[in-house]
A and B are shown apart, each in its own frame.
Chain A
Amino acid sequence: MNIFLVLTFSGVALGAIYFLAASGLSLIYGLMDVLNFAHGLFMTLGAYAGYEVATRLPSSLGAPTLIVLAIIGATLGGGLAAGITELVLIRPLYGKPISQILITIGLDLAVVGLLMGGFGSTALQIPVPLWLIEPTHIGGVFIPNANFLAIGGGAVVLLGLEWFLSRTRYGIIIRAGVENREMVRALGIDVGRAFTLVFVIGGAMAGLAGILYTIVFTGDLVSPSQGDSLLIFAFIVVVIGGLGSIRGSAVAALVVALLQEYTSFYIGGHSGWAQIGDLSTVLLLAVVLELRPRGLFGRVA
């Protein structure tokens, strides 16, 4: 039971990170039909931006201030990278979805290569305050504090995104565009600006996901291809949740992450089953697609 509680907390924390990565992917796909392979790159760039902020600023600021600044830096870095990507590479290729996918693949390859050259392929350590490493005592078990940071971050972004999409003008344009892009354009609204905005928001969430993943799951280590390994799970979450649906992404992220944590602990301990946690997410995807090809919350195709 105690172990179960620990697994649940770490599963929800992982789910929060999956949600941050997947909701951006899902919005971008829903609005623009772009399957963004550079999303993993945005996560990695976010983590590196956080690393740069945390190590370049004077340590006299104190570890708690530095980590907050690093998280802000990661979010801004991810958003900036995504905005530039949209303006420079995606925009010239409107109406060619395959070319847009291909160019994000090329970009990911090129920039990850650049990171390997610039920072080396060995992992780098982000300094974090002691508080994040210490656990909190809840219900007879010790939960690492970093978990709460990820869960809090995910919850804040989910609420903020729901508010933005339902209460603001641009949010409503984005939602309408996901439903029917041509109709929005026909009404004389500049959808192009919404495209850039969605990329910036998605990239910022990816950057945040990147640094939170680093703090919670990699032992504060940053490496050039860490985002690409997360990307696969983000894709799985997006398809299970239904392309274009934020709530779908949130629910699917929790389901996938918890399934992964539980199976990898309870079954993965046996020899030859070490990868069952990762494998189970793919099996879940196959089952969902068989029963409900458009995903849990997807619109009717």
Chain B
Amino acid sequence: MRWPSRRIGLLVGGAFLALFIVVPFIGLHVPWVLPGTLDIVNSTGTLEVLALCFMFAGVAVGYDMMFGYTGLMSLGPVLFFATGTYVFDIALTRWEWALLPALLLTLGVSLALAVVLGAVALRVHGIAFAMVTLAFAQAFYFLVESNPHNLTAGDTGLSLSYTRLPSFLSGAVSNTRNLYWIALAFLVIAYAVVWLVTESVTGRVFVAIRENERRLDVLGVRPFRFKLVSFVVSSLIATGGGVVYILVIGTAVPSVVASTTVTLSILIMVVLGGAGTRWGAVVGAMVYVYLQQYLDKVGAEPSFTRLPAVLRVPLSEPQFLLGAIFVLFVLFAPGGIASLVVRHRSRRALGAPALSSLIRKV
């Protein structure tokens, strides 16, 4: 299916990328859009929120390749995300390695883990696969929390030591914009990797696995290897996200970076944006992270405390609002934000997507 709108997509994506690259130079004051101390576009707080948005967007697009394209509902992406934060953090902080060896070690550990755990988990299908990956991730969480050999610092959290990092990455506030660009670069790389893989023959096989795995088996294509590739590439991207996270935030705490909550957030981002569309996952993650931060700040505003409790309690809980929005999307717009945009456009043009979806309904 060739999208007539592909060129439009490229233009919009390129325009946003150009805008985000120059954001750190824009000192505009934007009230309401960014509440509280975040209302200046290039303030440290805003740049940090945006860096988190980019980081999660990259991880989400990697997850979309596995979940949306290949149809593998892994509940273990947090394991690889936490591998990224912890191995990188431990190599730099505990062993005082230099940046490049630490990065290589992190990716190597993640690759080995992904191949082994993926091979074991992919022995089962569907829901059992989801549960097994969930259990592996939980085991990793217990491991990190138990502070083996005093490596992870357990619940206290392990702060990143900046001594071995190049000076442009040191913890100074003035370096926030460098971290911001690194997070943006990570998103671009993750997106490019997912784009290349999903547009290749391998990507076609991914979609075929999602649609009907048995048919592939009959055709003589072994789905297992392709599923493993999807799992491993997606996991490596999650690890990259973990590395960016620890650089931006500077502390790894098990309940924040290694718990199932992270997995569920990633899953929600992808579904909210529209699974199996790539850009939908990016939009979903940006919206999710932005709303989370925004609602948290708004809920603390003094004007809120004057509301009656029936309104104030739910409205000041970001978790409730995000959960409720997600429930509404699953019920009424299961294709996510992407489906709203595409449906809207195709109604005007009645292009190929609208026709094919009509045919499918008949």
Chain A residues at the B interface, C-beta cutoff of 8 Å: 29, 33, 35, 89, 92-93, 96-99, 101-103, 105-114, 116-118, 228, 232, 235-236, 238-239, 243, 272-276, 278-279, 282-283, 285-286, 289-290, 293
Contacts and interface: CB of A to CB of B under 8 A. Distances in A.
Which 3 pairs, one residue from A and one from B, show the smallest C-beta to C-beta distance?
Answer: A110-B323, A113-B319, A109-B323
Interface string B142-166: 1101111110000000000000000
B267 A102 contact: yes
Contact of A275 (B73, B124, B145): B145
Contact of B326 (A92, A109, A274): A109
B132 interface: yes
Main SS at interface, chain A: helix
A35 B138 CA distance: 17
B171 interface: no
29 contacts: A35-B127, A35-B131, A89-B331, A92-B331, A96-B334, A98-B73, A99-B334, A103-B327, A106-B324, A106-B326, A106-B327, A109-B319, A110-B321, A110-B324, A114-B317, A114-B320, A116-B317, A117-B316, A232-B135, A238-B131, A239-B135, A272-B146, A274-B147, A275-B142, A275-B145, A282-B135, A282-B136, A285-B135, A286-B135
B196 interface: no
Nearest to B326: A106
Contacts of B314: 114, 117
B323 A117 contact: no
B331 A112 contact: no
B128 interface: yes
A130 B232 CA distance: 55
B342 interface: no
Contacts of B73: 98, 101
Which secondary structure dominates where chain B touches chain A?
Answer: helix
Contact of A279 (B123, B132, B142, B322): B142
A239 B330 CA distance: 26
B313 interface: yes
A279 B136 CA distance: 9
Nearest to B138: A232
B249 interface: no
Contact of B127 (A29, A110, A293): A29
A89 B139 CA distance: 31
B268 interface: yes
Contacts of B334: 96, 99
